[in-house]
Structure 1
Amino acid sequence: MNIEEKSLIVNGQALRYTHITQNNKTICFMFSGSGYTYEKPLLYYSTLNMLQNEVDVIHVHYSYSKNISFEEIVNAIGTDVQAVVNNVLANNLYTQRIFLGKSLGTIPIIQKFMNNEAFTQDKTILLTPLLNIHSQYERLKSITSKGMIVIGDKDPYFDEEKILYLKQHTSLSINIIPFANHALEHHSFDVETSIKNLQSTIHLIDSFIHSKTAAH
């Protein structure tokens, strides 16, 4: 296994990313949350699961000022992520692609890739997407690609009505973790249940990346 720290200049700023490679044919582009980094349990074990399944991994290390608007963050993260994806695909011979995002990291997946004809055959994994943000939910309603959502019913971004609509009107695989918060941990700090939630989420990811089609 080879781990390379790389950077690109995007809009005059250096953007770092990590390329973890075993010379596999499939690549997973992984996008963290604003405070939920790649060392946190969901993304750490998602990375190990990809490597176990002979999938190379990209971690994009973006950060944004709290002084800019949400729309500015949406535009910036989309530009940053697109630049990394384009660079990696231009310089490596990957035949399959997976996109996995947590919270803030689901935004560029929804905005840039899920309804992009060039990526409609790729699998997308949305951990705790921001369903209460109108632009994100509206885009999800029209998704036709192979996507999976994992969210807790105690997550402040969880919306039962919106989840029901996505279940009934899209081909997205919807997975709800009972009593789980935005970190997919038990909302009342039950450690054993939180560990079980992590295990369940990794099993869902593992099954999804092996599936030929996304479950409805």
Structure 2
Amino acid sequence: MYAEKLAVIFPGIGYTHDKPLLYYAKEMAREHGYKVIEITYKLPYKSHEVKGKEEVMHSVFEIALKQTIDQLKDVEFDRYEEVLFIGKSIGTTLAGYYAWKNEINAIHIVLTPVAETFKFLEGVKAIVFHGTADAWCDTELARKQCCELNLPLHEIQGANHSLETKETIKDIKNLKGVFKQIEVFLF
């Protein structure tokens, strides 16, 4: 076993590694000694073409899953002392499914899950962040699922699926709060 830790970043459809939540999560992981792998997807749809369309969402999931499997095929997860999966939006579902399917005992940082994410978080060490104005995941569903799964849920009042409120200073303060919670949870 390596004396190493591994973090895998699973982005959303339009929320890539260079956006604030994933960028700072990646940097925080590196600061704490994690080797970082960034998953990327080449998808035939934009996020607005997927929302509310179950068949299209399933297709996007399958396409992204194949690309994820291909990018992680040579990773020997059992050689790491700790594995951290950081997901955003559909990436939270991909991370949960991938860990479940491959029996990887990963810790999950769940940034704005979609409803399907919760199917794969039973018995998992995870922390969940959700905006109460998130159009991709109902707040009551997130509360109910986190309660049933005994997962800490951190709600950002009035925030959308990117955890943004359209008030820049407030968003920066919220971002700081998110990463303080992650730091307490992990380190």
TM range (shorter): 0.7 to 0.9
| Structure 1 residue ranges without an equivalent (≥5) | 1-22, 211-216
State the TM-score, normalizing by the size of structure 1: 0.74
- Does structure 1 residue 41 correspond to structure 2 residue 27? no
Distance in 2 between residues matched to 1:138 and 1:118, nearest whole Å: 16
Instruction: Give the match for residue 203 of structure 1.
Output: 180
Q: Which amino acid aligns with 1:192?
A: I
Instruction: Give the match for residue 89 of structure 1.
Output: 76
State the TM-score, normalizing by the size of structure 2: 0.84
Q: Point out 4+ residue stretches in structure 1 off by more than 6 angstroms.
A: none
Over 3 Å counting, the alpha-carbon distance change for 1:169 and 1:117 in structure 2 is farther
- Does structure 1 residue 129 correspond to structure 2 residue 106? no
Q: Say which structure, 1 or 2, has more relative contact order (CA 8 Å, 6+ apart).
A: 2
Over 3 Å counting, the alpha-carbon distance change for 1:106 and 1:42 in structure 2 is same
Using the TM superposition, give the Cα deviation of residue 52 of structure 1 relative to its aligned residue in structure 2, in angstroms. Answer: 1.0
Kept in 1: contact 2:6–2:80 (CA 8 A): yes
Over 3 Å counting, the alpha-carbon distance change for 1:207 and 1:30 in structure 2 is same
Distance in 2 between residues matched to 1:28 and 1:196, nearest whole Å: 25
| Structure 2 residue ranges without an equivalent (≥5) | 50-54
Q: Which amino acid aligns with 1:44?
A: Y
Select the structure of larger CA radius of gyration: 1
Q: Which amino acid aligns with 2:176?
A: Q
Matched residue count: 178
Kept in 2: contact 1:24–1:55 (CA 8 A): no
Identical positions, percent: 25
Using the TM superposition, give the Cα deviation of residue 88 of structure 1 relative to its aligned residue in structure 2, in angstroms. Answer: 2.2
Higher helix share: 2
CA RMSD of aligned residues (A): 2.3
Q: Which amino acid aligns with 2:63?
A: A
Using the TM superposition, give the Cα deviation of residue 107 of structure 1 relative to its aligned residue in structure 2, in angstroms. Answer: 2.0
* Matching residue within 79, 97, 119 for 1:139: 119
Q: Which amino acid aligns with 1:106?
A: T
Deviations 1:122-147 (A, max 9, x none): 2011111112xxxx15615x611112
Deviations 1:53-104 (A, max 9, x none): 11111111212102893222111222222332331227x9422100011112
Kept in 2: contact 1:155–1:181 (CA 8 A): yes
